[in-house]
Structure 1
Amino acid sequence: MSALYDTIGLNYARLRQPDARISRAINDALGAAQTVLNVGAGAGSYEPANRQITAVEPSAEMIAQRPASRASVFQASAEDLPFADNSFDASMAVLTIHHWSDQQKGVSEMRRVTRAKIVFLTYDPAFRGFWLADYFPALVRLDEGQMPRMTDYETWLGAVNVTPLPIPHDCTDGFLAGYWRRPAAYLDERVRAAMSSFHALGDVSEGLGRLEKDLQSGAWAERYAHLLDLAEHDCGYRLVTAD
């Protein structure tokens, strides 16, 4: 993960601005926790301002993009957390677990250092993708290969609560589904550069060509007209919480 984000991280902080509605959902999920570990913290998105944060991130490039804050920051990986047992009230991992080299070990490490609640924002590979997968079907195979199933979290942590997290139509965070109602954004190389999935896909010129053609002809709007009036949309993202 470090090498990937050292490569794509150049404008990451500018294009991946935390969305306030997603922030509220994560903050609510953390409950009353005061000390929170953020694993795979990236540039610090979604770290609650009203709690004592410790951030772990393997990429020096991402750490360099963090805004000034009171968080303590460690360059380390999820699979080898440099903390004693039960060091934190809660831990969180936001859109990161699919990058871990050993997901089960990383989750086990989070459980080891956390006294109570663990919160993941992740993607359910059983969802089979939103409309973008019609143009880039390899996204579905990518998700199946990288993303833990919801049952995996139960195996690793015991009972979990899985809650759909609909994505707002004007989401300020440019992750993969952030532009679901703004399809032309995916034609912008700068936007795609902040999405790790596009880096994993490699050559996407064929899908981009079809998307551009459909936007110009009106075929996209005709096919997905039912989406254009929605304020939010379930694109497969889930909050997974364990006590």
Structure 2
Amino acid sequence: MVNVGAGAGAYEPTDREVLAVEPSAAMIAQRPLGAAPALQATAERLPLPDQSFDAALAVNTLHHWTDLRAGLRELRRVARKRIVIFMRDPSSGEPCWLTEDYLPSLDPSRRNSAIVGVIREELPSVKSLPFQLPRDCADGLFAAYWGRPEMYLDAEVRRNISNFALAEEGDVAKGLAWLRADLASGEWDRKYGALRRLESLDLGHRVLLAELA
């Protein structure tokens, strides 16, 4: 398997042979001891032979690519059997209260909708499989704390979420101040407190699976 846009390796399986591809030397340096070997390259130009891997994996990375179609065609070129993509499809699942009420400027729905559209054009066989985020999700993706709103007030948590890094500082400060006030007054719990009791929630995250053979 080739893991494209692999980052520090958080999403890699440990029960099979993996080659990681990551453009950032800094991210490669953060990969732990024992992680899969990593190659510094971009999704748009994979220095790999045709059909050299059974599967190509891309997890929460397509929005970072500079040429989405080129990257998808490269996945299709190097994979023999299947392509697996994980991302949020805004046309599915529940809306995210964080962007609905507090940080609308961070809402990736328009961008993600366009990405899903291109995926369906480039990979016509793709199937969409629902994935519910658990309330205690250990991964720090943007919607991970849907049932633990206080976590978004933690600067260290936000530093690990690219949506915040790319946002206007003023917009973030205003939205977080509003969230802090609503948590203190109990307004958030009056509107969304039932989320604290759910084990998982469908926020539109999908495994997009394209079988090639």
What is the TM-score of this pair, normalised by structure 2? Answer: 0.92
Give runs of ≥4 in structure 1 deviating > 6 Å: none
Aligned with 1:74 (options 39, 63, 67): 39
Task: Give the Å deviation of 1:179.
Answer: 0.9
CA distance in 1, matches of 2:110, 2:174: 22
Bigger shift: residues 130-139 or 149-158: 149-158
In the other structure, the counterpart of 1:173 is 139
Partner of 1:108: helix, strand, or coil? helix
For 2:174 and 2:56, the matched residues in 1 are separated by 40
In the alignment, the residues of structure 2 paired with residue 110 and residue 49 of structure 1 have an alpha-carbon distance, to the nearest angstrom, of 21
What displacement does 1:168 show?
0.4
SS in 1 for 2:197: coil
Pairwise CA RMSD = 1.4
Which among 9, 15, 20 is matched to residue 50 of structure 1?
15
Q: How does 1:3-82 map to 2 (within 5 A)?
A: 36-69=1-34, 71-82=36-47
Partner amino acid for 1:105?
A
* Equivalent pair of 2:2/2:55 in contact (CA under 8 Å): yes
Name the SS of the counterpart of 1:224 in structure 2: helix
- Which of the numbers 77, 96, 105 marks the counterpart of 1:138? 105
Q: Which residue of 1 aligns with 2:116?
A: 150
Residue equivalent to 1:8: none
Query: How far did 1:139 drift?
Result: 2.3
Distance 1:193 1:70, change over 3 A: closer
Q: Does 1:225 align with 2:190?
A: no
**Identity, % of aligned pairs?**
45
2:200 maps to 1:235: no
Give structure 2 stretches of 5+ with no counterpart.
none
Conserved in 1, the CA contact under 8 Å of 2:89 and 2:112? no
- 3-state SS of paired residue (1:211): helix
CA distance in 1, matches of 2:44, 2:117: 20
Distance in 2, matches of 1:109 and 1:48, equals 21
Check conservation: 2:9, 2:35, Cα contact below 8 A: no
Matches of 1:158 and 1:42 in 2, distance apart?
27
Give the distance between the partners of 2:112 and 2:45, measured in 1 at CA.
Answer: 20
Counterpart of 1:33? Answer: none
Give, in whole Å, the separation in 2 of the partners of 1:43 and 1:103: 21
> Structure 1: any 5+ residue segments left out of the alignment?
1-35
1:131-184 Cα deviation digits (max 9, x unpaired): 1111001122x4313554433222101111101211000011111111111101
Range that drifts further, 155-164 or 80-89: 155-164
Per the TM alignment, residue 201 of structure 1 is displaced from its structure 2 partner at its CA by: 1.3
> Aligned partners of 1:69, 1:109: CA distance in 2, in Å?
27
8 Å contact from structure 2 (residues 88, 112) kept in 1: no
Q: Tell whether 2:53 aligns with 1:88.
A: yes
The separation in 2 between residues aligned to 1:131 and 1:169, in whole angstroms, is 14
Q: What is the one-letter code of the residue matched to 2:103?
A: F
